[in-house]
Amino acid sequence: MQLVYSFSALMWRHPGGWFFFSLPTKLSAEIREQLGWQEQGWGRMPVRARMALLEWDTSIWWDSTLKCYLLPVKSVIRKEAKLLPGQSVEIHLSL
């Protein structure tokens, strides 16, 4: 069975240089409750992400401080989508 979640989020930059979208906490809790058994090491869960016409295989990561999953955004995706920090976009995740 494949589950698809859609949400809007702002892209932000971590002090370490990585860019992320934070999944909404309510959505993160639902994913963790329903699919937490699929988590791999360090709270990693493989997903297929889609944003506009771009689609890619990646993972979401559980952040125990923020109490939500984080979706890292590779530079190739940021450049192709012309994303800037603080920009809000619609994201679809297939798990």
Q: What is the pLDDT along the chain (95 residues), one digit of tens a residue?
A: 577 899 999 999 998 888 999 999 999 999 999 998 999 999 999 999 999 899 999 999 999 999 999 999 999 999 999 999 999 999 999 99
pTM: 0.90
* Count of all residues that appear for the chain in the document: 95
Fold of 4-94: Elongation Factor Tu (Ef-tu); domain 3 (2.40.30)
Pairing outcome for strands 88-94 and 44-51: antiparallel
In whole angstroms, what separates CA 64 from the centre of its chain?
15
